[in-house]
Chains A and B, each alone.
Chain A
């Protein structure tokens, strides 16, 4: 446990000491909100049907999920760098459990995801998104983001354990990025999609995070989708299962890479 916290704190220190990394990770989702959000908002009628919300409020949860993904990617590349530069060996000759190396990485990766999510929420609010006045809902939404971040950390760490090439790592991750965003309810309500896309979106864990966040964190969240929302227990269940799956994947790849 101490070792896990030590590694987490070391990664956080490096993260905070390097504003370029933070900025680099946050810039893409910020551009989504600012450019895409504003563009779409001005094309659509000023308010979402049945609410006083603009499109920005609708899309913010999707971009929060996307930014959590960005945080996970960053965490995975930290692990890849540590492996490639041999820093892992320092951990392996230390009297610490092997698993704490993975846990420390997963924890710092998840923290970065949460951090990104908060940045996007703030940007979203500045751009006119309306939050629900319920701090419990915010906590619930953040819990979803944390679990989603953990699941994605797992995938990112797993990929970072199975390649020695940073280029390959980034392109593998990028490959996931777009379908996860577009094949979900991030930018449009599930109801308005053709069946094949709706099926795709409903096996995409991102949809569950987004639906949960929308309901719990945003003003009139359910009304924006015409009241057709997924039950919250399902959102939490799917995201928790996704987190477990991601970590299992990371654990397997991690065992292989450090023996």
Chain B
């Protein structure tokens, strides 16, 4: 099952477009090339087009234009073959929770045509992997949110997929559960040669897991690279300044500084990427007085993926729903 097809790209999307209506362009010419046996994180604010992209790659939605291949097969022309080779967890909880955990896995395996013996072995393995053995024969509605998420992960793995799609796999989970899920995903990639495409809001998740990350905003893939590369281009250190006064003048002056590699402005934060924070801090601060800007708070950090995100999307990482696309869930439940 894990044997690779001729190409070593597990996911290959070319100029993928999804337009829901004349006004709503959810995904706008996205190109994605994801190597087999890597973890790729798709980052972006709500409504950026992450779920729509995943929906097209998992054959749930037909692209308006462009093409995509998953596990070597075209998502439109060869949808059935793609479906046999992928595992999916959805952004919202999708569980028949009147069934026991074991039954959820069993019925899933049956849908994919697995034999009884195969299903039993596989379910036992996976229940052990996600540490649900003790709860396996209880109705899933008695599970906590984290247990349900783990069961969903097990279900996605039930048919030993080549490519795993995880849409916000740790949304709303406590830190311990998140760390556990990260471990499962990391081990799976290493042990079974799996390719994972995940979306997330959490930058730490992408930093911890992803081999490569792409930032998507307003339907465009704005930048991609390894988390290390993305962070490196922000400069060695980041100086963050919060204050009030002639902000525009101040920012303009900073931009003119030769050592300011990047300057990003958020709603109330100014971020400056510099070669060395401790050396440049004083110079930056001294500019404030000449431009009538009062610094209220200043801090210095090593840049993180969050800073990269801020630079490219201009959004802070909070739940600001963009009006660009409807949320993923409602696409499926149309009147």
Using CB atoms and an 8 Å cutoff, list the residues of chain A in contact with chain B. Answer: 2-3, 6-7, 9-10, 13-14, 17-18, 82-96, 162-164, 256-259
- Are the CB atoms of B99 and A14 closer together than 8 Å? yes
Contacts A13-B99, A94-B83 known; A164 to B59 CB distance under 8 Å?
Answer: no
**B229: interface (CB < 8 Å):** no
**B282: interface (CB < 8 Å):** no
Using CB atoms and an 8 Å cutoff, list the residues of chain B in contact with chain A. Answer: 58-60, 62, 80-81, 83-84, 86, 88, 90, 92, 94-96, 98-99, 103, 107-108, 110-113, 155, 329, 332-335
Beyond the given A10-B103, A89-B90, A257-B334, please list 11 additional residue pairs across the A-B interface where CB-CB is below 8 A.
A10-B99, A14-B98, A84-B333, A85-B94, A87-B95, A87-B96, A89-B94, A92-B59, A94-B83, A95-B81, A162-B335
| A10, A14, A94: the one within 8 Å of B112 (CB) | A94
CB closest chain-A residue, reference B165: A93
Among the interface residues B58, B81, B113, B155, which one has the most CB atoms of the partner chain A within 10 A? B113
- Are the CB atoms of B94 and A94 closer together than 8 Å? no
| A6, A9, A14, A86: the one within 8 Å of B329 (CB) | A86
A12 to B226, CA, bound (A): 49
Contacts of B333 in A (CB 8 A): 83-84, 86, 164, 257
A13 to B99, CA, bound (A): 8
B267 to chain A, nearest CB (A): 34
- Are the CB atoms of A86 and B332 closer together than 8 Å? yes
A47 to chain B, nearest CB (A): 47
A82 to B81, CA, bound (A): 25
CB closest chain-B residue, reference A86: B94
- Are the CB atoms of B83 and A88 closer together than 8 Å? no
A17 to B99, CA, bound (A): 9
CB closest chain-B residue, reference A15: B98
Contacts of B84 in A (CB 8 A): 95
A197 to chain B, nearest CB (A): 36
| B80, B111, B335: the one within 8 Å of A91 (CB) | B111
- Are the CB atoms of A93 and B59 closer together than 8 Å? yes
A162 to B334, CA, bound (A): 8
A193 to B243, CA, bound (A): 86
CB closest chain-B residue, reference A85: B94
List 20 interface pairs A-B (beta carbons < 8 Å), by A numbering. Answer: A2-B113, A6-B111, A14-B99, A17-B98, A18-B98, A82-B96, A85-B94, A86-B94, A86-B333, A87-B96, A89-B88, A89-B332, A90-B94, A93-B83, A93-B88, A95-B83, A95-B84, A95-B113, A162-B335, A257-B333
A87 to B59, CA, bound (A): 16
CB closest chain-B residue, reference A14: B98
- Are the CB atoms of A93 and B335 closer together than 8 Å? no
| A3, A14, A256: the one within 8 Å of B111 (CB) | A3
A94 to B111, CA, bound (A): 7
- Are the CB atoms of A87 and B111 closer together than 8 Å? no
Contacts of B92 in A (CB 8 A): 86
- Are the CB atoms of A2 and B103 closer together than 8 Å? no
A82 to chain B, nearest CB (A): 8
Contacts of B86 in A (CB 8 A): 93
- Are the CB atoms of A90 and B108 closer together than 8 Å? yes
CB closest chain-A residue, reference B97: A85
Among the interface residues A3, A87, A94, A258, which one has the most CB atoms of the partner chain B within 10 A? A94
A213 to chain B, nearest CB (A): 33
Contacts of B112 in A (CB 8 A): 94-95
A162 to B333, CA, bound (A): 9
CB closest chain-A residue, reference B86: A93
CB closest chain-A residue, reference B62: A259
A84 to chain B, nearest CB (A): 6
- Are the CB atoms of A88 and B332 closer together than 8 Å? yes
- Are the CB atoms of A10 and B83 closer together than 8 Å? no
Closest 5 pairs (CB-CB, A-B): A95-B83, A86-B94, A6-B110, A95-B84, A94-B111
B119 to chain A, nearest CB (A): 11
CB closest chain-B residue, reference A80: B333
